[in-house]
């Protein structure tokens, strides 16, 4: 039942990985040709709804489900026990899929005035209350099973991945309850302060600790090297938990609020350099004695790429939170560039790496094509940065046009059209990478060679296997 539960969460995430970015690509086309695509509004698929579909599918469909599948695989192995309550977690996986599908249906329907079925007016928390309740039930089941697994462990010492993964599950629960339930108890400024806290911590206390914990497992085991510094990893964990909760209000520095809250958010954002550097140094120093493994191991290659994107994300983040920069880039696509660098870059690379590592060990099949795996990697390593630069360019042009040249947003649209076209073309390359990834895994179920521990996760090409076969 343990493998069955992991497979359900894992393969479900591939469906949402294929669908969520495709909707994002459609959004990008709506920016370029809004009049030609205006007919979408007639079928209740205007840009405003498409954006909710895109973000919810990427966060709750792809990232959440792929990360949970990795947690279900990693934690029992680090604790040297079987996964507890595997049957409960298996059915929670089905309920989570139902919740995501129901979320899409209710957002599309646009029911008004129903406290359980109507869209909620909060970013990343637009899901109707009924969907929120279902997700909370699923999360409780997962946390209960993982926590029981840790409590019954045979190894007394907790490796840092368990710290991040178990701690991340609890901070996810707290953050989700605040953003989707507690905000409803407040109005006015208090409501917006809680919303800002949720908005950033949906990434910082949900996605970040889970993604970093997965990477901490993958890097040493695939690099075949011990972790560079356990002490540094624990420093990173506790400073992340200490500084990240205070950063949320840097999203709303322009709104009327007590100045000390905004300053606290800015200082907390800058202090995040401590856990970020601890993570990046540990991740990149661990494989240093055996860098050849980066060329040989696809999970390691994707994890290292994710850490590079994580570093770039966390350089840009504190930079844009300072008052000297925030006034200029706020309300521009520079901010969306930052979000995509984190979610579609760093943490998606961690999810892809986890899938490449776990798939052969779950199914007993190698991934069948190194050519396809290389295409996916280079699309993420070469095309994704260009996609990010398209976002960044249009954001900077918008900032210059509106804030320095006093042009209207309508005058600005023509100035950013080419940058948006470039972003759309490069974004299509990134979406192609995700589709190829899903195809590679699903196809390998049928044609992948048998896998045994110690083999590469991705099979060599047929002609190389033939040449190396004994006479």
Q: Where are the domains of the chain?
A: 2-454
Q: How far apart are CA 460 and CA 464, in angstroms?
A: 6
Q: What is the band of 456 on the pLDDT scale with cuts at 50, 70, 90? A: confident
pTM of the model: 0.93
What average pLDDT does this structure show over 3-25? 95
pLDDT at 462 over 60: no
Kindly report, residue by residue over 383-412, the tens digit of the pLDDT.
999 999 999 999 999 999 988 898 888 889
Residues of the chain above pLDDT 70, percent: 98
Q: How far apart are CA 419 and CA 422, in angstroms?
A: 5
Q: How far apart are CA 192 and CA 355, in angstroms?
A: 37
56-70, 161-175, 235-249, 449-463: lowest mean pLDDT where?
449-463
Kindly report, residue by residue over 206-247, the tens digit of the pLDDT.
999 999 999 999 999 999 999 999 999 999 999 999 998 888
pLDDT at 461 over 80: no
Q: What is the band of 327 on the pLDDT scale with cuts at 50, 70, 90? A: confident
Residue 15's closest CA among 86, 128, 93? Answer: 93
Task: Check residue 463 and give its pLDDT.
Answer: 41
Task: Check residue 322 and give its pLDDT.
Answer: 82
Q: How far apart are CA 406 and CA 319, in angstroms?
A: 24
Q: What is the band of 262 on the pLDDT scale with cuts at 50, 70, 90? A: confident
Residue 270's closest CA among 252, 251, 308, 244? Answer: 244
What average pLDDT does this structure show over 330-343? 90
CA distances from 387 to 14, 51, 345 (A): 22, 18, 10
pLDDT at 471 over 80: no
CB 268 within 8 A of CB 247: yes
CATH superfamily placement of domain 2-454: Cytochrome c oxidase-like, subunit I domain (1.20.210.10)
Helix (H, G, I), strand (E, B) or coil at 33: coil
pLDDT at 321 over 90: no
Task: Check residue 468 and give its pLDDT.
Answer: 47
Helix (H, G, I), strand (E, B) or coil at 405: coil
Q: How far apart are CA 459 and CA 172, in angstroms?
A: 37
Task: Check residue 467 and give its pLDDT.
Answer: 42
Total residues belonging to the chain: 471
CA distances from 14 to 157, 387, 435 (A): 34, 22, 9
Task: Check residue 184 and give its pLDDT.
Answer: 87
CA distances from 250 to 207, 271, 309, 319 (A): 18, 13, 21, 11
pLDDT at 469 over 80: no
Output the DSSP codes for 55-76.
HHIIIIIIIHHHHHHHHHHHHH
Supply angle C-alpha 62, 65, 68, rounded to 5: 140
Q: How far apart are CA 279 and CA 291, in angstroms?
A: 18
Kindly report, residue by residue over 63-103, the tens digit of the pLDDT.
999 999 999 999 999 999 999 999 999 999 999 999 999 99
pLDDT at 320 over 90: no
């Amino acid at each position: 039942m343990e493998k069955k539960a992991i497979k359900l969460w894992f393969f479900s995430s591939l469906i949402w990985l294929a669908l969520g970015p495709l909707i994002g690509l459609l959004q990008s086309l709506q920016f370029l040709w809004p009049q030609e695509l205006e007919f979408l509004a007639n079928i209740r698929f205007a840009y405003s709804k498409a954006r909710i579909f895109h973000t919810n599918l990427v966060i709750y469909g792809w990232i959440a489900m792929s990360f949970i599948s990795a947690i279900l695989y990693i934690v029992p192995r680090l604790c040297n026990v079987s996964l507890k309550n595997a049957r409960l977690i298996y059915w929670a996986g089905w309920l989570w899929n139902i919740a995501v599908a129901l979320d899409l249906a209710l957002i599309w329907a646009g029911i008004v005035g129903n406290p359980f079925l109507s869209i909620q007016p909060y970013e990343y928390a637009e899901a109707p209350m009924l969907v929120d309740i279902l997700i909370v039930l699923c999360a409780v089941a997962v946390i209960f099973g993982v926590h029981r697994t840790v409590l019954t462990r045979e190894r007394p010492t907790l490796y840092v991945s368990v710290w991040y993964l178990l701690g991340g599950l609890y901070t996810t629960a707290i953050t989700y309850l605040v953003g989707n339930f507690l905000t409803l108890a407040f109005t006015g400024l208090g409501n917006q302060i809680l919303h800002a806290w949720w908005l950033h911590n949906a990434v910082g206390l949900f996605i970040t600790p889970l993604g970093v914990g997965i990477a901490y497992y993958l890097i040493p085991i695939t690099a075949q090297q011990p972790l560079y510094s356990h002490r540094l990893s624990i420093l990173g964990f506790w400073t992340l938990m200490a500084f990240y909760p205070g950063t949320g209000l840097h999203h709303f520095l322009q709104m009327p609020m007590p100045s000390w809250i905004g300053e606290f958010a800015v200082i907390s954002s800058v202090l995040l350099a401590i856990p970020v550097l601890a993570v990046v140094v540990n991740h990149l120093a661990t494989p240093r004695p055996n860098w050849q493994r980066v060329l040989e191991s696809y999970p390691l290659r994707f994890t290292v790429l994710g850490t590079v994107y994580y570093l770039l994300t966390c350089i840009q983040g504190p930079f844009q939170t300072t008052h000297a920069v925030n006034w200029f880039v706020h309300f521009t696509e520079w901010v969306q560039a930052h979000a995509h660098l984190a979610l579609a870059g760093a943490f998606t690379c961690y999810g892809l790496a986890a899938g490449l590592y776990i798939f052969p060990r779950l199914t007993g099949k190698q991934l069948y094509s190194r050519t396809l795996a290389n295409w996916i990697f280079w699309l993420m390593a070469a095309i994704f940065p260009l996609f990010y630069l398209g976002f960044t360019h249009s954001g900077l042009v918008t900032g210059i046009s509106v804030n320095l040249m006093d042009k209207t947003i309508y005058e600005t649209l023509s100035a950013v059209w080419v940058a948006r076209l470039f972003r759309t073309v490069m974004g299509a390359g990134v979406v192609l990478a995700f589709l190829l990834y899903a195809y590679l895994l699903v196809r390998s179920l049928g044609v992948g060679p048998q896998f045994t521990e110690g083999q590469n996760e991705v099979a060599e090409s047929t002609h190389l296997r033939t040449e190396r076969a004994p006479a």
